Amino acid sequence: MDLAVDLQGITKRFGAFTANSGIDLAVRRGEIHAIIGENGAGKTTLMNILFGLLQPDEGRIALNGKAMVIDSPAVAIAEGLGMVHQHFKLVPSLTVADNIFLGMEIRRNGLIDRAAQIERTRVLSQKFGLRVDPSERVAGLSVGIEQRIEILKVLARDARTIILDEPTAVLTPQESRDLFATLRSFVDDGMTVIFISHHLEEVMEVSDTVTVLRDGKVVATRPKTSLSKRELVRLMVGRDVSFDRRPRGPVDGKAALEIADLWARDDRRLPMLKSASLTVRSGEILGIAGVAGNGQTELAEVLSGLRPPSHGSVRLHGQEVLGLAPAQIRARGLAHVPGDRMVRGVDRNASLSANMLMGRQDKAPFSHRGILSWATAHAEMRALIKRFDIRARGPKDPARSLSGGNIQKVVLAREFTAGGDVLLIDQPTRGVDIGAQEAIHDEIMRQRDQGRAILLISTQLDELAALADRILVMFDGRIMGEVDGEAMDEEAIGLMMAGVDPATPVDPSTGIDPIGAAAAPAFPRPPASEEVR
Partner 1 sequence: MKTLPLPSGLLRTLAGQALAFVIALALGAVIILMIDESPVAVFMTLMRGAFGDAEKIAGTLLQTTPILICGIAACIGLRGGMFNVGIEGQLFLGGFAAAWVGFAFSLPPVLHVLVAMLLAVVAGAAWVAIPAFFRVRFGTNEVVSTILANYIATLLTSYFTIFLFKRPGGWSETPPILESAYLPELFSFSRLNIGLLIGIALAIATALFFRWTAKGYAVTMVGSAPKFAEYGGINVRKVGFGVLLVSGAVGGLAGGVETLGVHHRFMEGFAPGFGFDGVIAALLANGSPIGTIFTALFFGALRAGSLLLEVDTTASREIITVIQALIILAVSADLLMRRRGDRTGERRWKF
Partner 2 sequence: MEVLGSLFNVALLVATIRTTTPILLVALGGSFTTKAGIFNIGLEGQMLIAAFFAVIGSIYTGSSVGGLVIGVAAALVFALVYAVLVVSFRANEVVVGLALNILAGGMTISLMKAIFGTRGSIVGRGIVGLPKVQVPGARDLLGFNAAQLISGYTPLVYVAFLAVPAMLLIYGRTRLGLYIRVVGEKPEAAEALGISIARVRYTASLLCGLMAGLAGAHMSLGYITMFTENMSAGRGFMAVAILIFSAGDPLKVLAGCLLFGFADALSLRLQTFGFPSYLVLAVPYAVALVALFALSWRARPKTIRETLETMRRALSVSPERESSSTRS
Interface contacts to partner 1, rule CB under 8 A: 14-16, 54, 304, 306, 325-327, 330, 336, 338, 343-350, 354, 357-359, 361-362, 367, 370-372, 374
Q: Select the residue interacting with ligand ATP from 21, 77, 86, 159 (CB under 6 A).
A: 86
How far apart (Å, rounded) are the C-alpha atoms in residues 503 and 509? 14
Q: How many chain residues bind partner 2 (CB under 8 A)? A: 45
Return the one option of Mg ion, ligand ATP, partner 1, none that residue 45 interacts with (CB less than 5 to 8 A, by type).
ligand ATP
Residue 59 or 253: which CB sits closer to partner 1? Answer: 59
Interaction of residue 214 with ligand ATP, rule CB under 6 A: no
Q: Which one of the spans 12-20, 317-325, 329-337, 459-467 is the region binding ligand ATP (CB under 6 A)?
A: 12-20
Footprint on residues 45-84 left by partner 2 (CB under 8 A)? 51-53, 72-75, 77, 83
Residue 403 or 460: which CB sits closer to ligand ATP? Answer: 403
Return the one option of partner 1, ligand ATP, Mg ion, none that residue 345 interacts with (CB less than 5 to 8 A, by type).
partner 1
Interaction of residue 532 with partner 2, rule CB under 8 A: no
C-beta separation of 305 from 420 below 8 A: no
Reduce the DSSP state of residue 191 to 3 states and report it.
coil
> What is the DSSP track for 285-296?
EEEEE--TTSSH
Q: Select the residue interacting with ligand ATP from 21, 25, 33, 44 (CB under 6 A).
A: 44
How far apart (Å, rounded) are the C-alpha atoms in residues 318 and 171? 37
Interaction of residue 43 with ligand ATP, rule CB under 6 A: yes
Interaction of residue 272 with partner 2, rule CB under 8 A: no
E strand segments, 331-444 = 334-337, 367-368, 371-372, 422-426
Q: Select the residue interacting with ligand ATP from 5, 21, 23, 40 (CB under 6 A).
A: 40
Q: Select the residue interacting with partner 2 from 29, 311, 317, 378 (CB under 8 A).
A: 311
Interaction of residue 349 with partner 2, rule CB under 8 A: no
401: exposed, middle or buried (Cβ count in 10 Å: 0-12, 13-18, 19+): middle
In 3D, which of 266, 323, 315 has the Cα closest to residue 293? 266
E strand segments, 38-76 = 58-63, 66-68
- Residues in a beta bridge with 169: none
In 3D, which of 329, 336, 292 has the Cα closest to residue 314? 329
Characterize the bridge pairing of strands 285-289 and 470-475: parallel
In 3D, which of 418, 419, 441 has the Cα closest to residue 428? 441
Interaction of residue 359 with ligand ATP, rule CB under 6 A: no
Interaction of residue 15 with partner 2, rule CB under 8 A: no
Interaction of residue 499 with partner 2, rule CB under 8 A: no
Interaction of residue 41 with ligand ATP, rule CB under 6 A: yes
How far apart (Å, rounded) are the C-alpha atoms in residues 112 and 118? 11
Interaction of residue 332 with partner 2, rule CB under 8 A: no
Footprint on residues 7-46 left by Mg ion (CB under 5 A)? 44
Check the CA dihedral 10-11-14-18 and report its sign.
positive
Amino acid at the residue 331: A
Q: How many chain residues bind ligand ATP (CB under 6 A)? A: 18
How far apart (Å, rounded) are the C-alpha atoms in residues 403 and 150? 30
In 3D, which of 34, 505, 402 has the Cα closest to residue 236? 34
Residue 149 or 413: which CB sits closer to partner 2? Answer: 149
- Residue ranges that bind partner 2, judged by CB under 8 A: 51-53, 72-75, 77, 83, 85, 87, 89-94, 98-99, 102-103, 105, 107, 110-112, 114, 263, 265, 269, 308-313, 320, 322-324, 510, 512, 514-516
- Residue ranges that bind ligand ATP, judged by CB under 6 A: 14, 17, 19, 37, 39-45, 86, 107, 110, 198, 403-404, 431
